[in-house]
C-alpha cells in the first residue's frame, strides 16, 4: 500500500496510468506526450512496476507496458473506509447553506 | 492530489488517520500507540496538515487534530476511474477458474 500511494503521488505517473488505461504501450509511446527524457520516463516506469501497477510484455523488441489494476483496488478499498466522513462533511455544508438561506430576508 | 497520495504512502500516517476517524485527538494521544518520538509524530502531522487531511483545533492548550476527509474523497474519485480494470481482472480470474474446473476429470 505504501508503494501504491507513493507511486500515485506524481502527476506524470498518474498520466502514464491514464494512458495505459486505453491500452498497452511501449516506453517510446509512453514518453511521447511528456516533455521529459527517456531515462526520466524509465525511472517513473520502474516506480510503477515496483508498486505492481504495470507489467512488461514478453515481446523482447517491444516490451509493451500494461496496466495492473489490483493495487488500485486495494487503495480504493482503504479510502472507502472513510466515505462516511466525506459524506458527513458534505451533509454539514448542505445544512449550513440551507440555514443561511432560511435566514435571508424575504423579498 | 500529489500531497494527498504522498501523505498516504506511510503506515504511521495512515494509522493516525484511522485513529482520528474515531474522534479528534491531541498530539500526545496520537503519539501514544506508536513507538516513535513526539518530534517524529509532529513531522507526520505536518505532512497530513499540508495535504489538508487534518486540521488543528483553536483550543490553545490542547490543539486537537481533526480528520478532514475531502482530499480522501478526491483520491477515491481518481481511483474510481479505474474500477472497470480491476473488475475486469477479477472477471478474467473467475473465467479461468471456471475453465479449470470444467476440465477436471469427472468423479
Q: What is the pLDDT of residues B38-56, one digit of tens each?
A: 899 999 999 999 999 999 9
Which range, of A85-94, B11-20, B75-84, averages the lowest pLDDT?
A: A85-94
Q: Does A93 touch chain B (CB under 8 A)?
A: no
Rounded Cα distance, A7 and A71, in Å: 11
Q: Is a pLDDT exceeding 60 seen at residue B90?
A: yes
Q: Does A78 touch chain B (CB under 8 A)?
A: yes
**Pick from B10, B20, B67, B70: which is nearest to A1 by CA?**
B10
- Burial class (CB within 10 angstroms; exposed 0-12, middle 13-18, buried 19+) of A104: exposed
Q: Are strands A54-56 and A65-67 parallel, antiparallel or unpaired?
A: antiparallel
Residue found by looking up cell 483550543 in the block: B59
Q: Average pLDDT, whole number, for chain A?
A: 89
For residue A78, the chain B residues in CB contact (below 8 A) are 8, 14
Inter-chain CB proximity A82 and B17 less than 8 Å: yes
For residue A9, the chain B residues in CB contact (below 8 A) are 2-6, 9
Inter-chain CB proximity A75 and B79 less than 8 Å: yes
For residue A15, the chain B residues in CB contact (below 8 A) are none
In terms of pTM, does the model score above 0.90?
Answer: no
Mean pLDDT over A40-46 rounds to 95
The count of CB pairs under 8 A between chains A and B is: 88
For residue B53, what pLDDT is reported? 97
Q: Does B97 touch chain A (CB under 8 A)?
A: no
For residue A65, the Cα-to-chain-centroid distance in whole angstroms is 16
Q: Is a pLDDT exceeding 90 seen at residue A82?
A: yes
Rounded Cα distance, A82 and B68, in Å: 10
Rounded Cα distance, A104 and A42, in Å: 58
Q: Is a pLDDT exceeding 80 seen at residue B105?
A: no
Which uninterrupted H or E stretch holds B88? helix B83-103
Q: Work out the minimum CA distance from B101 to partner chain A, whole angstroms.
A: 24
Rounded Cα distance, A4 and A11, in Å: 14
Q: Three cell numbers at B99?
A: 475453465
For residue A101, what pLDDT is reported? 81
Q: Three cell numbers at A93?
A: 455544508
Q: Is a pLDDT exceeding 90 seen at residue B79?
A: yes
The residues in B 11-30 lying below 8 A from A, measured between CB atoms, are: 11, 14, 17-18, 21
Q: Work out the minimum CA distance from B106 to partner chain A, whole angstroms.
A: 34
Q: Average pLDDT, whole number, for chain B?
A: 89
Rounded Cα distance, B35 and B12, in Å: 10
Q: Work out the minimum CA distance from B53 to partner chain A, whole angstroms.
A: 11
For residue B35, the Cα-to-chain-centroid distance in whole angstroms is 20
Amino acid at each position: 500500500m505504501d508503494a501504491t500511494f507513493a507511486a500515485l503521488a506524481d502527476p506524470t505517473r498518474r498520466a502514464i496510468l491514464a494512458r495505459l488505461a486505453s491500452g498497452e504501450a511501449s516506453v517510446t509511446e509512453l514518453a511521447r506526450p511528456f516533455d521529459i527524457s527517456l531515462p526520466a520516463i524509465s525511472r517513473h516506469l520502474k516506480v510503477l512496476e515496483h508498486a505492481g501497477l504495470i507489467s512488461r510484455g514478453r515481446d523482447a523488441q517491444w516490451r509493451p507496458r500494461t496496466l495492473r489494476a489490483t493495487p488500485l483496488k486495494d487503495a480504493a478499498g482503504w479510502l472507502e473506509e472513510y466515505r462516511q466522513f466525506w459524506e458527513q462533511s458534505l451533509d454539514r455544508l448542505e445544512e449550513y447553506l440551507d440555514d443561511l438561506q432560511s435566514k435571508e430576508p424575504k423579498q
